[in-house]
C-alpha cells in the first residue's frame, strides 16, 4: 500500500499542466497535514514537475528533464530581469524558439508561430499580431504596450514581458541560458542508471542473518541495504559484518548504521568518487525522506561514465575550452604538451588564472597516467607550489614526471615552462579506477 507522501505525488502528477497548487488546497483534498503536503510539493519540485513562479505561485509544469534545451517563459523573465505586463497564467509554458523582430512587419510575421517568443521594441501593432499568432512577446528598451494588447495577453495566457536591455543583449542572454542547459544535459545523474526498487534486494530490521545468506546465494551479491517498515534506509550489511555470526542473529545488530547514500540527482561523477574513495561496491539511492529508491553498483557507474565520455558534446564547459587547447609537443621536443594562453584563460589583469593552472596540471597528469594505465581516474589531491605570472597569448610548455603508480593510485609531478623558464609546478595524486 502506498504512503500518504506517494499518494500526494501521484495526485500532483495527474494534475493538468498549468494548474496552480497550494499547500492548503493539497492538504484539504488529500486529507493530510499541511506539513505532509508541503514536503510532497517540495519533492515534486525536485522531480521537475512543479515550479514556483514569483507573484504567480506554484504551478504544475512539464517535466524539465525532457526539455533540457528549452526554457519556460518564467525563466526568461528571470534571465532578462524583466517585468510581466500581461499573460501571467502562461509563464509556465515552454519557449520553443525566439524570433528577433528586426524586419518589416509582414516579413516578420511569417516566422512567428505558437510557442515562439518575439523579441521586439515599441511596435504596438506587432505586439498584437504576435499574440494573435499564439506567440509570447518580449519588449526591449524598457518600453511598454497598450491596454488592449495586455487584455488580449491575459485572456489567452500569452506572456508579454518588458526589459530594459536592448535586443542584441537579450538574445545573447537567452542564448547563453540555453547553452548552459545543453551543458547540463551532458551530465549523467544517479537516476539515469539506478536499479529500481522492484529489482533491488534488501533486508529489513525484522530479518535474521539467515536471510542475508539466502540473498547472497540467490544474487551472488554480498552487500544489502537494511530498511524499516517505512522503507527508510537504516544500515548496510556486508559479508564482513556477518562473519562468525549465528543465522538467528538479528540483522539490526550486525548492520553498519547510518550508511553512505546518494540521491537520484547526485551526479555520477560524485557517486564514483565516493565509491572509489570509500572502497564501496554498492550504494543505496534514497529520496528526500531517506526512503529506498534503488541501488547503484560501482560496475554500472564506471560503465556509464565511460559511455558518457564517448558521447558527442553539445556545449563546452570552461574545462573543455582549456583542455581542448592542450596538444602534444612536436616530435623532438623535451616537453610533453603545449598550450596557448587564450583571453578566456586569463584573470582581470591579463595573466593566467590560478584555476587554469590547476586544470592544466590535472590534464597533463591525467594524460600521463592514462599512458601507463588505461581507464578512468579520480583526482583526489592537487597542490600548486610554484607560480610565476604568464601573460596572454603566450605558449606554455608542460612536462610531467610520474613519481609513483600502482594498481589503485598514481602520483605525477608537472612543470610548466615559458621559453624554457619555469613558471609553474604542481603535484597531482589520483585514484585509478579498475574496469
State residue 66's pLDDT score: 43
Q: What is the pLDDT of residue 70?
A: 65
- Do the domains 191-307 and 318-433 sit in the same CATH topology, yes or no? no
CA 181 to chain centre: 9
Nearest to 58 by CA among 21, 84, 10, 23: 21
In this predicted structure, what is the pLDDT of residue 317?
65
Higher-pLDDT residue of 4, 142: 142
In the CATH hierarchy, which fold is given to the domain comprising 73-185? 3.40.1390
Q: What is the pLDDT of residue 169?
A: 87
Half-sphere exposure of 202 (CA within 13 A, CB side): 29
Selected residue with higher pLDDT from 258 and 435: 258
- pLDDT reading at 185 higher than 60: no
Of the listed ranges 64-73, 104-113, 279-288, 366-375, the least confidently predicted one is: 64-73
- CB-CB contact of 308 with 192 (8 Å): no
Confidence of residue 306 (pLDDT cuts 50, 70, 90): low
Which pLDDT does position 330 carry in this prediction? 87
Q: Which three cell numbers stand for residue 181?
A: 542547459
What span, in angstroms and rounded, lies between the C-alpha atoms of 257 and 262? 15
What is 191-307's CATH superfamily?
Answer: CBS-domain (3.10.580.10)
Environment class of 201 (CB within 10 Å of its CB; exposed 0-12, middle 13-18, buried 19+): middle
CATH class of 4-60: mainly alpha
Whole-prediction pTM? 0.47
Task: Cell numbers for 2, please give them.
Answer: 502506498
Domain boundaries, the chain: 4-60, 73-185, 191-307, 318-433
Q: What is the pLDDT of residues 197-236, one digit of tens each?
A: 888 899 999 899 999 999 988 887 888 999 998 899 999 9
For residue range 375-422, what is the model confidence (pLDDT) as tens digits?
A: 778 888 999 988 888 887 788 999 999 999 988 889 999 999 998 899
pLDDT of residue 422: 93
Cβ atoms of 251 and 207 within 8 Å: the answer is yes
For residues 262 and 296, give the distance between their C-alpha atoms in angstroms, rounded to a whole number: 9
Q: Write the pLDDT tens digit of every residue in 53-106.
A: 655 678 887 765 444 456 788 888 988 889 999 999 898 888 888 888 877 888
Confidence (pLDDT) at 65:
44
Q: What are the φ and ψ backbone dihedral angles of 25, each rounded to 5 degrees? A: -70, -45
| Choices 3.40.190.10, 3.40.640.10, 3.10.129.10, 3.30.70.20: CATH for 318-433 | 3.10.129.10
HEC profile of the chain: CCCHHHHHHHHHHCCCCCCEECHHHHHHHHCCCHHHHHHHHHHHHHCCCEEEECCCEEEECCCHHHHCCCEEHHHHHHHCCCEEEECHHHCCCEECEEEECCCCHHHHHCCCCCCEEEEECCCHHHHHHHHHCCCEEEECCCCCCCHHHHHHHHHHCCCEEECCCCHHHHHHHHHHHHHHHHHHHHCCEHHHCCEEHHHCCCEECCCEHHHHHHHHHHHCCCEEEEECCCCEEEEEEEHHHCCCCCCCCEHHHHCEECCCCEECCCEHHHHHHHHHHHCCCEEEEECCCCEEEEEEEHHHHHHHHHHHHHCCCCCCCHHHHHHCCEEECCCCCCCCEEEECCHHHECCCCEECHHHHHHHHHHHHHHHHHHHCCCCEEEEEEEEEEECCCECCCEEEEEEEEEEECCCEEEEEEEEEECCEEEEEEEEEEEECCC
pLDDT given at position 68? 42
Task: Look at residue 179 in the predicted model and tell me its pLDDT.
Answer: 67
pLDDT the model gives residue 132: 93
Residue 156: pLDDT band (50, 70, 90) is very high
Could you give the CA distance from residue 324 to residue 99 in angstroms, rounded to a whole number? 32
Please give the mean pLDDT across all residues of the chain.
84
Query: Residue 149 in contact with residue 127, Cβ under 8 Å?
Result: yes
pLDDT at 55: 59
Nearest to 421 by CA among 385, 393, 394: 394
Ramachandran angles phi, psi of 425, nearest 5°: -150, 135
Four-point Cα dihedral 388, 393, 395, 401, nearest 10: 50
Question: What are 196's three cell numbers?
Answer: 529500481
Asked whether the predicted pLDDT for residue 314 surpasses 50, the reply is: no
pLDDT at position 320, please? 75
Amino acid at each position: 500500500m502506498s504512503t500518504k507522501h506517494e499518494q500526494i505525488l501521484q495526485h500532483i502528477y495527474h494534475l493538468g499542466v498549468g494548474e496552480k497548487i497550494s499547500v492548503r488546497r493539497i492538504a484539504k483534498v488529500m486529507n493530510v497535514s499541511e506539513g505532509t503536503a508541503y514536503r510532497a510539493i517540495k519533492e515534486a519540485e525536485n522531480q521537475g514537475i512543479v515550479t514556483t513562479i514569483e507573484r504567480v505561485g506554484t504551478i504544475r509544469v512539464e517535466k524539465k528533464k525532457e526539455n533540457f534545451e528549452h526554457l519556460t517563459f518564467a525563466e526568461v523573465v528571470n534571465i532578462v530581469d524583466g517585468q510581466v505586463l500581461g499573460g501571467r497564467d502562461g509563464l509556465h509554458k515552454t519557449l520553443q524558439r525566439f524570433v528577433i523582430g528586426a524586419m518589416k512587419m509582414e516579413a516578420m510575421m511569417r516566422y512567428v508561430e505558437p510557442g515562439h517568443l518575439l523579441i521586439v521594441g515599441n511596435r504596438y501593432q506587432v505586439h498584437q499580431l504576435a499574440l494573435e499568432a499564439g506567440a509570447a512577446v518580449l519588449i526591449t528598451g524598457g518600453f511598454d504596450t497598450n491596454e488592449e494588447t495586455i487584455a488580449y495577453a491575459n485572456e489567452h495566457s500569452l506572456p508579454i514581458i518588458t526589459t530594459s536591455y536592448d535586443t542584441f543583449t537579450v538574445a545573447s542572454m537567452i542564448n547563453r541560458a540555453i547553452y548552459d542547459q545543453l551543458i547540463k544535459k551532458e551530465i549523467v545523474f544517479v537516476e539515469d542508471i539506478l536499479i529500481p526498487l522492484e529489482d533491488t534486494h534488501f533486508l529489513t530490521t525484522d530479518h535474521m542473518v539467515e536471510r542475508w545468506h539466502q540473498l547472497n546465494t540467490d544474487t551472488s551479491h554480498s552487500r544489502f541495504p537494511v530498511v524499516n517498515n517505512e522503507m527508510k534506509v537504516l544500515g548496510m550489511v556486508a559479508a564482513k559484518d556477518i562473519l562468525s555470526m549465528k543465522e538467528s542473529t538479528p540483522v539490526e545488530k550486525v548492520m553498519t548504521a547510518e550508511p553512505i547514500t546518494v540521491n537520484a540527482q547526485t551526479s555520477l561523477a560524485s557517486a564514483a568518487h565516493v565509491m572509489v574513495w570509500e572502497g564501496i561496491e554498492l550504494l543505496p539511492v534514497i529520496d528526500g525522506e531517506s526512503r529506498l529508491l534503488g541501488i547503484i553498483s560501482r560496475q554500472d557507474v564506471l560503465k556509464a561514465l565511460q559511455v558518457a565520455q564517448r558521447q558527442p558534446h553539445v556545449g563546452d564547459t570552461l574545462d573543455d575550452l582549456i583542455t581542448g587547447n592542450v596538444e602534444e609537443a612536436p616530435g623532438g621536443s623535451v616537453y610533453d604538451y603545449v598550450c596557448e594562453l587564450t583571453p578566456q584563460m586569463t584573470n582581470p589583469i591579463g595573466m593566467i588564472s590560478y584555476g587554469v593552472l590547476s586544470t592544466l596540471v590535472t590534464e597533463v597528469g591525467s594524460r600521463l597516467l592514462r599512458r601507463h594505465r588505461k581507464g578512468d581516474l579520480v583526482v583526489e589531491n592537487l597542490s600548486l607550489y610554484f607560480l610565476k605570472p604568464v601573460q596572454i597569448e603566450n605558449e606554455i610548455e608542460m612536462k610531467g614526471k610520474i613519481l609513483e603508480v600502482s594498481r589503485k593510485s598514481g602520483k605525477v609531478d608537472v612543470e610548466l615552462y615559458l621559453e624554457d623558464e619555469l613558471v609553474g609546478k604542481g603535484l597531482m595524486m589520483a585514484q585509478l579506477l579498475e574496469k
